[in-house]
């Protein structure tokens, strides 16, 4: 009975530590991207096929629709869609916030690869960290700024 429990626990540990998709060999360019409470740790591997892996899943399984297009936008500007394999670990936030953090990280990593891309990426707004964060709730209010309804009588 005890052996079954320990084997289940060991199996769970193996699943967490199995980063076979994340670990690749070769030289890479690293950057952090942020948005709201999301943090994306991005690696661009040279001589890739254009694969993007996010938290051990292909980008098509993790994100959907126009979010994928927004993630690939810095690569399109740099004409580097098929130059790199990208791996990313993203924590925190929601799905849209994570996509923006990934785009920010890819843009910063592209600068590590080629600093001459700075003007094009800056013009597109991909290098600026969008620092808007949810405002905290205040005492006596229903939300950050929403006051209780006022009644004359």
Is the Cβ–Cβ distance between 88 and 41 less than 8 Å? yes
Please state the domain extents for the chain: 22-124
User: Cα 152 to chain center, whole Å?
Assistant: 49
Distance CA 143, CA 97 (A): 21
Architecture of domain 22-124: 2-Layer Sandwich (3.30)
Could you tell me the pTM of the whole model?
0.81
73: CB partners within 8 A, 6+ apart? 103, 124, 126
Per-residue confidence (pLDDT) for residue 153, from 0 to 100: 83
**86 phi and psi angles, rounded to 5 deg:** -120, 130
pLDDT in the model for residue 2: 56
Query: Mean pLDDT in runs of 10 for the chain (153 residues)?
Result: 53 47 75 96 93 95 95 95 94 96 97 95 95 95 96 89
pLDDT score of 18: 46
How far apart, in whole angstroms, are the C-alpha atoms of residue 18 and residue 38? Answer: 23
């Amino acid at each position: 009975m005890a052996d079954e429990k320990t084997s289940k626990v060991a199996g769970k540990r193996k699943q967490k530590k199995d980063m076979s998709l994340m670990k690749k060999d070769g030289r890479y360019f690293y950057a952090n991207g942020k948005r709201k409470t999301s943090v994306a740790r991005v690696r661009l591997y040279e001589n890739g096929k254009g694969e993007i892996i996010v938290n051990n899943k292909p980008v098509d399984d993790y994100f959907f629709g126009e979010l994928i297009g927004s993630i690939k936008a810095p690569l399109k500007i740099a004409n580097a869609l098929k130059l790199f394999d990208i791996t990313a670990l993203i924590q925190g936030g929601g799905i849209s916030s994570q996509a923006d953090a990934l785009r920010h990280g890819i843009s910063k990593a592209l600068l590590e690869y080629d600093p001459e891309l700075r003007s094009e990426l800056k013009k597109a707004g991909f290098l600026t960290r969008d620092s808007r964060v949810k405002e905290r709730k205040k005492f006596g209010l229903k939300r950050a700024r929403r006051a209780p309804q006022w009644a004359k009588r």
